[in-house]
């Protein structure tokens, strides 16, 4: 089938801020997910420019999986990469509770490959929707392109492409951060540390404790 190209452009506004709405009334047994009109929302401000975040950040999906989704952290993420693309109906705002839901989903994705605990069940849960398939010119040739319609889908697709091509996600034994390892990354598949200096620090600390 040849190389599949993720062709993804995404608007990033000059700034983002939090706007707040009254909290959701408590209805037992009912959970509102997308388009939730309650609580804090992220709203874009100022002019928008189009960027190609996946090309600048080959592990963007991991950045989102690592996100501790407080309103402040979600705004910081949006300033760098844009909104997720789960907008409220007829609005440019996104509910923080949606962000929290999706960040939790990405933490599960990361667990799927961490230590290779991938099961058919967990991969069934990983659905890719909102993708257009197009033929687009690239370097003088027509190429098959996957065109995600939201940052959320783009990050899922990036995860799927990285993992299906042999990368895995591991946890650094020194600092606990998640990092990519294996084919197509700069860490070995069995790497225990996110970087050489953490391997060095970890081994030095252990030597210190043994003394």
Which listed residue (104, 108, 175, 183) binds Zn ion by CB under 5 A?
175
> 10 or 179, CB closer to Zn ion?
179
- CB of 131 closer than 8 Å to CB of 148: yes
Query: How many residues make contact with Zn ion (CB under 5 A)?
Result: 5
Shortest Cβ 31–Zn ion spacing (Å):
36
| Site string (97-136) toward Zn ion, x via CB under 5 A | ----------------------------------------
Scanning 44-52, 117-125, 153-161, 171-179 for contacts with Zn ion by CB under 5 A, the matching segment is 171-179
CA atoms within 13 A on the CB side of 99: 29
Shortest Cβ 66–Zn ion spacing (Å):
12
Shortest Cβ 172–Zn ion spacing (Å):
3
Which listed residue (174, 178, 181, 187) binds Zn ion by CB under 5 A?
174
Which listed residue (198, 199, 201, 202) binds Zn ion by CB under 5 A?
198
CA-to-CA distance for 132 and 147, rounded, in angstroms? 5
CA-to-CA distance for 184 and 50, rounded, in angstroms? 27
Which listed residue (62, 84, 163, 194) binds Zn ion by CB under 5 A?
194
Binding site for Zn ion (CB under 5 A): 172, 174-175, 194, 198
């Amino acid at each position: 089938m040849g190389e599949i190209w993720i062709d993804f452009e995404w608007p990033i506004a000059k700034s983002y801020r939090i706007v707040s709405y009254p909290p959701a009334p408590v209805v037992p047994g009912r959970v509102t997910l997308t388009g939730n009109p309650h609580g804090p929302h992220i709203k874009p401000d100022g002019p928008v420019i189009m960027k190609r975040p996946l090309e600048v950040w080959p592990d963007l999906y991991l950045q989102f999986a690592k996100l501790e989704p407080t309103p402040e952290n979600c705004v910081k993420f949006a300033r760098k990469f844009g909104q997720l693309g789960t907008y409220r109906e007829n609005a440019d705002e996104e509910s923080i509770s949606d962000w929290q839901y999706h960040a939790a989903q990405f933490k599960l994705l990361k667990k799927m490959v961490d230590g290779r605990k991938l099961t058919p069940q967990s991969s069934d849960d990983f659905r890719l929707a909102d993708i257009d398939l197009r033929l687009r010119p690239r370097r003088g040739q027509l190429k098959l392109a996957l065109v995600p319609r939201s940052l959320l889908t783009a990050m899922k697709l990036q995860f799927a492409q990285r993992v299906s091509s042999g990368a895995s996600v591991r946890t650094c034994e020194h600092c606990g951060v998640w990092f990519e390892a294996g084919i197509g990354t700069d860490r070995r598949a069995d790497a225990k540390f996110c970087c050489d200096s953490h391997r060095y620090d970890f081994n030095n600390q252990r030597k210190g404790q043994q003394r």
